[in-house]
Amino acid sequence: MLQSLLRCIKLKRTVLLLIFIITVLLTVNFQFVSKLDYSILEIKHPEIDESCNCTKILKQDREEMERSKLQAMTKSFRNETQITEKQYIEWTSNCEKFKITRKYLTFPLSSEEEEFPLAYSIVIHHKIQNFERLLRAIYAPQNFYCIHVDNKSAPLFQAAVAGIVSCFDNVVISSKLENVVYASWSRVQADINCMRDLYNMSPRWKYFINLCGQDFPIKTNLEIVRKLKNLNGKNNLETEKMPAAKEIRWKKRFKIVKNAIVKTNINKTPPPIKTPVYSGGAYILVLRKFVQYVLTDPTVQQFIEWSKDTYSPDEFLWATLQRQSKAPGSIPKSYRYDVTDVNSISRLVKWVQFEGQESDGAMYPPCDGQHIRAVCVYGVGDLSWMLQQPQLFANKFDSDMDYFAVYCLEQHLRHKALTALD
């Protein structure tokens, strides 16, 4: 009896020892594999890194920034780094290879992110490489993405987008495409179309975020999730008193003539809402319930119809709905609750009229890139300042104007995201 008991004890010890050894081996092996996999997912290209040291650029090394700009201007560098629509169509014929070579994150980086999925609308019309790099930067398998491609876009561009989208189960092209005209209702309709598609796609996502092709994140997905959680069930977008100079945008009727918006002399009826019309921006961070409110509330539908012949309705529609007491995640009507573009975390934009020396009262330092419609298209010299700001996304970027501004930013964000796993 005693010998049997001893044999049993020895057997248990042996089993426990084996379990311990296997556990240690699995842990060591998992850590090794994890680190190996994570290093593979870094955004690094040796031939590009030889031309530019992103670490130095983010530390504001003036010599390195000038060197990168000179390098990016050369014809040989442009030829080496430019990716065409035809290349994307060819690459996406093998989706698994495409996702591996382009280093997409195909697994959630944390349980916190997995449990807080997001929904993105991305409105684009050209520059395929800008779009694909944006998608890669914000992509996570738990999130959902709707891509609205301007119906007027070149067929080759549309085919390239379709190829990219086909490689992901959680990315779709909008079920209804608009002919988007600058500053017209069609721009808002594109987002509403994606709102509807995303709402029907999954009940799981928490917040809706709308982007355009020249946006880029300045926070990791984990940082975005935590920022949104800190909103405590509120939306975040620009909404403030309407400047008198902008009232003509919705007091007169506008129409589309030859793909341009034109003012008429016809006065509009008063808006079908009880609040004033507020001023704001096109870009929003809103709850899923707010999207449901936009899609189903009868008063909102009336306001939408009324807004369709106005100028730049995206710059008052969302701002006004955010002040409706029935809107989920809204804020009170009092001017003391106004949110300016500086206070909103939805988008970081440098307007030329507010640039200058901050010591002299300017809102932000001068643009290091170029200006389009008075908005800075960022250069590498803007990155260090940008990464210190509270916003989640910045506008505008264009890899054709400054390749390294996008490259160094995406490299930094990917490294930061992967480092958080250690």
Active site residues: 315
Contacts of residue 199, defined as CB under 8 A and 6 or more positions apart, other chains included, come to 288, 291, 292, 295
Q: What is the DSSP string of 11-80?
A: HHHHHHHHHHHHHHHHHHHHHHHHHHHHHHTS---HHHHTT--HHHHHTT-HHHHHHHHHHHHSHHHHHH
Radius of gyration of the chain (CA): 25
- Alpha-carbon distance of 309 to 185, in angstroms, equals 7
Contacts of residue 353, defined as CB under 8 A and 6 or more positions apart, other chains included, come to 374
Closest CA to 325 of 288, 295, 299: 299
Q: Please give the span between the terminal C-alpha atoms of the chain, in angstroms, as a whole number.
A: 51
What 63-68 contacts at long range (C-beta under 8 Å, 24+ apart), as own/partner pairs, is: 65/368, 65/379, 65/380, 65/381, 68/380, 68/404
- Alpha-carbon distance of 292 to 200, in angstroms, equals 10
Pairing, β 348-349 against β 393-395:
parallel
Amino acid at 221: N
